[in-house]
Amino acid sequence: MKIASTLNLNRVLALSVFALAGFFAVTAGAQTYTKLYTWPEDTRNETGIGLAGIMTQGRDGNIYGTIGDDNSNAAGSAFKMTPSGTFTRIYSFCSLAKCADGSGPWGGLSLGKDGNLYGTTTGGGSFNSGTAFQLTPSGALTTVWNFDNGTDGGVPWYPLLQGLDGNFYGVSNTQYNGDYGAFVKLVPTATPPYKESVLIDFNYTDGNDPNLPTQGTDGSFYGSTFSGGTKGLGVLFKSTTAGVETVLHNFTGYSTDGAYPIGALVQGNDGAYYGVTWQGGSSNLGSIFKVTSNGTYTLIHNFVGRPNDGAYPRSGLILGSDGNFYGTTLNGGTVNDGTIYKVTPSGQVTVLYNFCSQSNCADGFSPVIPLLQHTSGKFYSSTSGNSLGGSYFYSLDVGLAPFVKIVNWAGKVGTTVELLGQGFTGTTGVSFGGVPATFKNVADTYMTATVPPGALSGTLTVTTFTGSMASNRAFLVTPVISGFNPSGGSVGTKVVITGTSLTQTKGVSIGGKSAPFTVNSDTQVTATVPVGARTGMKIGIATAGGVAYSSGVFNVVPSITNFTPTSGPVGTSVTINGNSFTGATAVKFGGVAATSYQVINDQVVDALVPSGAVTGPISVTTPGGTGTSTSNFTVTP
């Protein structure tokens, strides 16, 4: 068995749970830790249950997650937990014959745009290699895909992630032609199964045992693999929605850049991606890093262990509503039983809570489940143990204010945006970057808003009778190009580009070159065809909300500024200066085609005056059109 396979099993510690314990709270400075629920140890008369994977907040304000191996059939379950700690099991896996509905839901759950929950199982299904499923908050399960451990891999350890395009993305942790894992896409269909495709079939050199990627603001996915790469210590990668992969970084050593990245990457407000390694760093106790979209890697913190900042982070970071990152460590801290910490984008770590700091570890120890920040501002998660052989579901209040969570965080004017929060029944207004929008109150914890004309990318704000709440991330208003005029022109031509959401334009591309521009209004930008522009390319506009391209192409017409000499007999070599000569198909003197010419560069063409040439203008023809001189070339005897 490969080391990666062994370590993969260690992603999730079996969490024992016993009898329900009472309410317990401690305060460390401004941080309040509250024990909300005790997972009972012996609910299936075996070794306990394993609380697993990523938790998510539903439209109803409750928290949803999975347990990997509880219940009488030891196949796991899905649960609902109220923010105050009331537990409800909503589905028991392996309820169908031969575990057709899956078993071992170790990955957790994510919220889809339809309000349903999406996850995976590591076993069961048609091929006993795991499933992907949709689960309603009330507990109705639909299997949307069966992994076959063959062409599409199997044993997925993470939930599905719904992309901005509406499709679902996930990873399988075994793959048929190398057992290194795969990045997969599931396209929803009216009737399951969904349409599945393998985007990346990892081959060890580009990674092994992938963690769940995250979708960046540029639309690409950014992720890591637990091992593999040039040194076998993991890689960071980027993938397009079509599966074009770029390896951004290979981890190379314990004392340098870390080893074995674990958990999902998270994008910071600066656009970079942040994550942790389970081992490596200066003390070989793990590290925190950031990487840019072009692969610039920076190690920003080395964990040093007890009694300081913690050791061996077993889950990734999350971005808090204050712009800092939050995470947990398995060990380290004052008692060496794990910590909850905050880290700034520059790498300054603050320990917020030390586990097992109460008598008999009454507050639990060794957290491994990723934190979830509820829209109340509080953080929620679970320990992997306590003094009774069980574990605790807890909250941590660090004083962050309630906020609005955007489910679908990018879209064009007219898009319906889903919002999670609290107190929505008292909403008096919603704005996108300060621009008012129409909205609909669905429930106190869920509402929708429509992106209005003129909306600006930036903070989304919900105003109520008693105050206001800001979104924890920017909403990106996607620009649209509806047309441009003229359809072609030479360098220096003014092009009027029309569309929507153009106010925040920060760049225009014509012919593949950056073009000078002026924003006339939210629906119009005027740009100038730049030197070097190539014909037959789409016009592009980049704004704070994304990039838009025209449906048609712009034809760059060549232009002649001068030529030398200005006269001469047949056979004279003439240098023609101007713009957009690349790809020239003809040069003419007085309408007579030259049989000998050469494009020196985009601004220079050399030609010989042809036999039969007459005095008249010179013209150069390219696929973009024909440019003609304003003065004549004089053909002499």
Q: Give the Cα separation of 345 and 272 in Å (integer).
A: 9
Strands (E), 268-331: 273-279, 287-291, 297-302, 318-319, 325-329
**Which has more pLDDT, 364 or 41?**
364
Reported as a single tens digit per residue, the pLDDT across 523-561 is 999 999 999 999 999 999 999 999 999 999 999 999 999
pLDDT of 36: 95
| Average pLDDT rounded to a whole number, residues 410-434 | 97
Examine the pLDDT at 442 and tell me if it is beyond 80.
Answer: yes
**What's the chain's average pLDDT?**
91
pLDDT on residue 238:
98
> Model's pTM, two decimal places?
0.89
| Region of poorest pLDDT, from 6-15, 288-297, 429-438, 608-617 | 6-15
Percent of the chain with pLDDT over 70: 91
The model's pLDDT over 207-256, given as tens digits with 9 standing for 90+, comes to: 999 999 999 999 999 999 999 999 999 999 999 999 999 999 999 987 78
Helix H, strand E, coil C: the string for 420-472 is: ECCCHHHEEEEEECCEEECEEEEECCEEEEECCCCCCCEEEEEEECCCEEEEE
pLDDT at 97 over 60: yes
Q: Residue 2 in contact with residue 9, Cβ under 8 Å?
A: no
The DSSP result for 333-344, as a single string, is TTTTS-EEEEE-
Rounded Cα–Cα distance for residues 326 and 324 (Å) = 7
Peptide bond into 486 cis (omega under 30): yes
Domains 3-397 and 480-556 are alike in CATH topology:
no
pLDDT at 307: 87
User: Which of residues 466 and 152 earns the better pLDDT score?
Assistant: 466
429, two tokens: 């207004």
CATH topology of domain 559-635: Immunoglobulin-like (2.60.40)
Residue 278: pLDDT above 50?
yes
| Phi, psi (rounded to 5 degrees) for 9 | -65, -25
CA distance 416 to 403: 19
Instruction: Point out which residues pair with 548 in neighbouring strands.
Output: 541
Whole-number Å distance between alpha carbons of 332 and 313: 10
Q: Which helix (H) or strand (E) holds 6?
A: helix 3-9
Residue 14 burial (CB < 10 Å; 0-12/13-18/19+)?
middle
Nearest to residue 222, comparing CAs of 205, 210, 233?
210
pLDDT (average), residues 485-511: 98
**Superfamily grouping for domain 406-476:** Immunoglobulins (2.60.40.10)
Asked if the model's pLDDT at residue 5 lies above 50, the reply is no
- The region of weakest confidence among 159-163, 330-334, 376-380 is 330-334
What is the per-residue pLDDT across 194-204, written as a single tens digit (0 to 9) for each?
999 999 999 99
The Cα diameter of the chain in Å comes to 110
Both structure tokens of 513: 């070159």
Q: What angle do CA 311, 312, 315 make, to 5 degrees?
A: 125
Q: Which candidate, 315, 316, 326, places its Cα nearest to that of 368?
A: 315
Closest to 196 in 3D by CA, of 132, 121, 254, 135 = 132
Q: Residue 308: what pLDDT?
A: 86
Task: Identify the CA nearest to 235 among candidates 284, 289, 161.
Answer: 289
Whole-angstrom Cα distance, residue 404 to residue 57?
Answer: 12
Q: Where are the domains of the chain?
A: 3-397, 406-476, 480-556, 559-635
* pLDDT tens-digit map of 617-627: 999 999 999 99
Q: pLDDT tens, 125-144?
A: 999 999 999 999 999 999 99
Which fold would CATH assign to domain 480-556?
Immunoglobulin-like (2.60.40)
Q: What's the pLDDT band for 425 if we cut at 50, 70, 90?
A: very high
For the segment 457-481, the average pLDDT, to the nearest whole number, is: 97
Query: Quick check: helix, strand or coil at residue 178?
Result: coil
Task: State the Rg of the chain over Cα.
Answer: 30
Q: What is the pLDDT of residue 364?
A: 86
Note the pLDDT of residue 596: 97
Instruction: Look at residue 15 and tell me whether its pLDDT is greater than 70.
Output: no
414: its two tokens: 């007219």
Q: Tell which CATH classification among 4.10.80.40, 2.130.10.10, 2.102.10.10, 2.60.40.10 matches the domain 3-397.
A: 2.130.10.10
